[in-house]
């Protein structure tokens, strides 16, 4: 157990984050589940310790919009487990009424997480490399009339992942970057849809027949950990996992014009 890999999961106390933690535990990872709701994270960790052992999971409070919290979480995890191999930037919100907070949590959070991973996991800083998985959404590819700021944040995650997933960074630090872009998931985040734009819009009912279970989406993160395709974006829709290269047409356009 002392040699098993270690993962940090943000937003790890509930919903998709909790499902990811459980999948990691099943795979033999040791896990630090971090969440803005620190007490909820502690309770979740205690529940999982009953199943996977006291040495398998810890918990910590983390406000992902604060770089200092990421640094503290990494230092605590290394102190406890002696290493960090995987960071999963999963924490997110859907709050159109507060654009700044949405960007701070959904985009700045993963940015801080990636740079903290370089600091503690990067080979250029004495680390052993590893994997960082960010959480985007199909809204990272498509427009979202009801939730434009959310869409902006998730578009940004794809650009961040693909940029850090280039050889320039891997050759220096040995960290693989990838992200998951799922369709709608049956979690509490759907309840936070801003209904001031469309007062009668009930997303949980309108789309109830295609909502995915968190457990199904969480297995997509395990697929990335197995495949280790740097800069990749894995879309998850009901019944299917598929890697998407949305920049292909733009790349071909530039090549045709010798740019």
Q: What is the pLDDT of residues 27-42, one digit of tens each?
A: 999 999 999 999 999 9
The predicted model scores a pTM of 0.91
Active site residues per annotation: 150
Q: Are 88 and 77 in contact (CB under 8 A)?
A: no
Strand 6-10's sheet: what is its strand order?
A: 57-61, 30-35, 6-10, 86-89, 130-135, 175-182, 232-237, 240-243
Nearest Cα to Cα of residue 7 among 228, 234, 222: 222
Cα–Cα distance measured from residue 252 to residue 53, given in angstroms and rounded to the nearest whole number: 51
Q: Which CATH class is domain 6-257?
A: alpha beta
Element (H, E) at 177: strand 175-182
- CA 44, CA 38: separation in Å to the nearest integer? 10
The residue among 142 and 161 whose pLDDT is bigger is 161
Write out pLDDT tens, residues 62-106.
999 999 999 999 999 999 999 999 999 999 999 999 999 999 999
């Amino acid at each position: 157990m002392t040699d098993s890999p270690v993962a940090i999961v943000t937003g790890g106390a509930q919903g998709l984050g909790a499902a990811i933690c459980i999948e990691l535990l099943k795979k033999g990872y040791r896990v630090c589940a971090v969440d803005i709701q620190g007490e909820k994270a502690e309770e979740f960790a205690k529940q999982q310790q009953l199943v996977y052992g006291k040495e398998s999971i810890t918990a910590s409070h983390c406000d992902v919009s604060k770089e200092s919290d990421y640094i503290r979480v990494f230092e605590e995890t290394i102190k406890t487990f002696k290493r960090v191999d995987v960071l999963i930037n999963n924490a997110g919100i859907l709050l159109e009424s507060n654009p700044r907070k949405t960007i701070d949590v959904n985009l700045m959070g993963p940015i801080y997480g990636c740079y903290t991973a370089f600091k503690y996991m990067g080979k250029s800083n004495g680390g052993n490399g590893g994997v960082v998985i960010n959480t985007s959404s199909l809204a990272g590819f498509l427009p979202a009339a009801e939730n434009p700021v959310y869409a902006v944040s998730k578009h940004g995650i794809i650009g961040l992942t693909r940029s850090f997933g280039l050889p320039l960074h891997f050759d220096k630090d040995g960290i693989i970057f990838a992200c998951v872009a799922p369709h709608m998931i049956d979690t509490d985040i759907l309840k936070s849809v801003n209904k001031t734009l469309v007062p009668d819009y009930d997303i949980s009912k309108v789309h109830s027949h295609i909502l995915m279970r968190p457990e199904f989406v969480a297995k997509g993160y395990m697929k990335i950990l197995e495949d280790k395709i740097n800069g990749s974006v894995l879309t998850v829709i009901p019944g299917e996992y598929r890697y998407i290269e949305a920049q292909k047409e733009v790349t071909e356009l530039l090549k045709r014009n010798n740019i």
